[in-house]
Structure 1
Amino acid sequence: MKPLLSICCTTYNQEKYVAQTLDGFLKQKTNFSIEIIIHDDASTDKTQDIIRAYAKKDSRIKLILQTENQYSQNIKPTANFCIPMATGKYIALCEGDDYWTDDLKLQKQVDFLEANPEYVVSWTNYKIFKNNEIIENDFSYNEAEVTIDYNNLFTPYSTYTLTTVFKKEALDLELYKSLKYSKDNSLYVMLLQKGKGVFLNFFGAVYRIHEGGVYSLQSDFFKNYSSFLNLNEVIQVIPESQTKNINKIIKSLANGAAFAVLKAKYAGEKLTEVQQRFMDSHFKRAPFKTKFKYYKRIFKYKFLK
C-alpha cells in the first residue's frame, strides 16, 4: 500500500539520540500508512549501525547511507535525497537528535490538512531540552489553530523543522534545490506561495540543544547571517513574500549579524573576511538610528571595559 505520509529524517553523528527519534516515529498511531526515510551523512560514530538495526526490524524504514559527507559539499540531504525518494502525499520532517512526544502528532496534522485543502503546511508546539531540563515555549497563542502566512511567518518563530508536515505537491523541488542558501526557512516561504500554513497549538515534539548540534550551538553571527542570506534569496524568487513582516525580519537579521561581528571584534576574536566585509557594508548603508547604536556600542566596548 502506498504511504500517505513520508517521514524524512537526516542524521549525522547522533548515536546518543537517534534511537529516541526513531522510537517516536514508530509509536505514531495513524489510520494511514507511513514510510520512514533516513539519510545518514557519513556518520563516523555508531549512528549507521543503530539505524540499520531499526531498518531490519521494520520494513517501513528506508535508508540512504552516505560514505562521503554531502553537507560539507553544500549538498542539502533533505532536498536532494529524502524528498525525491518520498512517495507520500505528505512529508513530515525531523532531524536525528530531536524527537516526537505525542503519539497522535501525525494523525492530528494530517487530519487538519485533509479537512482544509487551502492549507499546505502545518506545525505544532514543541518543548526544548537543554542542560538536562525540559523548557516550554510560550508563543502567546491563545487559539488552538493559528493561521500562518507571510504577514506573521517567523513572528514569533514557531515554525521549527521537527514539527513540520506539508503537502509534497506544494513544493517546487527543483527551485528549492537551486537555491544557494536554502534551508528550512526557504522551504516555508516557498510552500506558503501555494496555500496557508497552520500552527496547531499542542505539544508534539522536543527540540534538543546539545554540544553536537549542527545548528543550535552555532554563533549568533552564523545564525543571523545564514538566515539573512536564505530569506533575502528566497524572497527574490517569491516576490509576493516581500511583505512588511518579512522585510522587517530581514532587516533585524542583518542588524543581528552585524552587531554580533562588532561584539566579536572588541572581544578580541579574529574576524573572517566575510564578517568584516558584511559589518562594514551594513553599517555604511544603515539608517541614522542604527548608526547611532553602532557608535554607542563602540564607545561601550572601547571605554567601558
Structure 2
Amino acid sequence: MKSKLPFFSVIISTCNRPELLQRCLERIASQKFDNYEVIIINNGSKSHFNAEYKQVERNFDTRFKFYDLNNELSAGFGPAHSRNLGIDTACGEYIAFCDDDDEWIDSNYLSDVVDYLERHTTDLIISNQFGISDNPEECSQPKVWFKGFENYLEKSPEKIKRLSNLDYFSDVGSFPHLNTSIYKASFIRDLDGFNRSLWYEEDLDLFLRALQREPSIAFNANFVSNHYIPNKDKMDNITSSIDTLKKYKLRLIYLQNLINEFGVKESNNFVKSLASDTFKHLTMYTLSKKDYRTAKMYAFNAHCIKPKFKWFSFFIYIYFLNLIKAKND
C-alpha cells in the first residue's frame, strides 16, 4: 500500500534519553511496512544532551522528523502537550505512539494492522505487550499486559479481531498502553487529543474519554512491544516521582470530570470502577491517619458511584468513628 501521504504517524516524546531513543527508533525502522512518518519531540531535555540528540537525528532518514521544544527557561511542557503537537503535525491516517524508553519488538506490527485495515474500519487498534520491571527485587518474568480477552472478541479466523464487549477493560482492570495503541487520526482529533493539564496518566484519561464514545476497537493478540516499568526508587521520571497519594488525587480530577460530564449512570463501567476504587484507596489512607471526617466523605463517594452493601456498611462504621472522635474532642 503506497500513497503520497504516510499511512501511519508514529509520535514519540523524549526527554534526556538519547541512547534509549536511538534503540526505540531502530526498532521502528525495522518495521516491514515502511509507509510511515515518525514525529520525535524533544520535550525539555537538558542542553548537555543536544549533541547526542543531533547524532540520533543523523542516524535516520527523512521519514523521521525531529522537533525541539527545549529552551533555557523550560524543563519541558509535559507529555500531553508534546504529543498533541505531534497530533497537530501528523499527516498519517492512523496515529501510533511509542515511549522513548520502550521498544516495538514485532517487525510485522504495522503490516499486520494494515492488513486488517484494508478490510475493516475501526477507531482504535490495541495489541498485547510485555511489561518488564526495572526493579531487580520484583519477579523477573515479564508481565503479560492483557489476559483473558478471548471471550470478549468476535468470532473470526483473522489474526486481529473486533472487541465485541467493551466491559473487558473494567472486568480485568487494565487499559492499553500507548505503545500498543493505534488511533484513527480523525477519532483522536475529535477527542481533542490529550488533556494538557495532566502530567500523569494522560494516556488513561484519553482512553477513558474514547470509551465514552463507544468506539469500534480491534484487538491484536500478538506481543508487539516491551514496556519497561521504571524502578520507583530511582525517581528518574514523572511517573515514579509522584507519590501514591498524589496519584490517586490526580486521578480523581479527570475521573470526576468524566462522571460530571456524562452522569454516573451513563458513564462507562471502567470509569466507574476506577473512580470507586480510587475513592476506596483514599478512604483507607485517610482512615490510617485517623482523619475520619475525610475518610467518611471518600467512602460515601465510593458507594454512590458503585453501590455495594459491604462498602455501605464500612461507611457506617467510619461514620460512627467520626462521631466518637468528635465527641472526645
TM-score range, shorter chain: 0.7 to 0.9
- Of 76, 79, 97, 2:81 maps to 76
Matched, 1:128 2:131: yes
Q: Deviations over 1:206-257 (max 9, x none)?
A: 1112232422564332343333322332354466961344312221122224
Cα gap change, 1:146/1:75 in structure 2, threshold over 3 Å: closer, same or farther? closer
Cα gap change, 1:36/1:231 in structure 2, threshold over 3 Å: closer, same or farther? same
Cα gap change, 1:114/1:277 in structure 2, threshold over 3 Å: closer, same or farther? farther
- Of 222, 226, 232, 1:202 maps to 222
Correspondence list, 1:168-207, <5 A: 168-172=185-189, 175-176=192-193, 180-181=197-198, 183-192=202-211, 193=213, 195-207=215-227
In 1, Cα distance between equivalents of 2:196 and 2:260: 11
Cα gap change, 1:53/1:292 in structure 2, threshold over 3 Å: closer, same or farther? farther
Matched, 1:26 2:29: yes
Matched, 1:243 2:262: no
Unaligned runs of 5+ in 2: 154-158, 304-311, 323-329
Cα gap change, 1:219/1:155 in structure 2, threshold over 3 Å: closer, same or farther? farther
Matched, 1:52 2:68: no
In 1, Cα distance between equivalents of 2:262 and 2:227: 29
In 2, Cα distance between equivalents of 1:237 and 1:284: 20
Tell me the secondary structure at the aligned position of residue 140 of structure 1. Answer: coil
Cα gap change, 1:190/1:291 in structure 2, threshold over 3 Å: closer, same or farther? closer
Query: Aligned partner of 1:107: which letter?
Result: S
Q: Corresponding residue for 1:301?
A: none
Does the CA-based 8 Å contact 1:120-1:191 persist in structure 2? no
Q: Deviations over 1:121-159 (max 9, x none)?
A: 111111122136451315223366461665333543141
**Paired-residue identity, %:** 18
Matched, 1:139 2:147: yes
In 2, Cα distance between equivalents of 1:245 and 1:194: 12
Does the CA-based 8 Å contact 2:38-2:65 persist in structure 1? yes
Does the CA-based 8 Å contact 2:44-2:77 persist in structure 1? no
Matched, 1:214 2:238: yes
Cα gap change, 1:185/1:17 in structure 2, threshold over 3 Å: closer, same or farther? same
Q: Corresponding residue for 2:182?
A: 165
Does the CA-based 8 Å contact 2:12-2:41 persist in structure 1? yes
Q: Corresponding residue for 2:9?
A: 6
Q: Corresponding residue for 1:303?
A: none
Q: Corresponding residue for 1:42?
A: 44
Q: Deviations over 1:143-201 (max 9, x none)?
A: 66461665333543141111111100112357445664481123223434273112211
In 2, Cα distance between equivalents of 1:24 and 1:238: 40
Deviation at 1:261, TM superposition (A): 5.2
Cα gap change, 1:235/1:78 in structure 2, threshold over 3 Å: closer, same or farther? farther
Structure showing greater Rg: 2
Matched, 1:151 2:167: yes
Q: Corresponding residue for 1:91?
A: 95
Task: State the TM-score, normalizing by the size of structure 2.
Answer: 0.73
Deviation at 1:23, TM superposition (A): 1.2
Tell me the secondary structure at the aligned position of residue 71 of structure 1. Answer: coil
Q: Corresponding residue for 2:309?
A: none
In 2, Cα distance between equivalents of 1:226 and 1:98: 24
Matched, 1:230 2:254: yes
Deviation at 1:8, TM superposition (A): 0.2
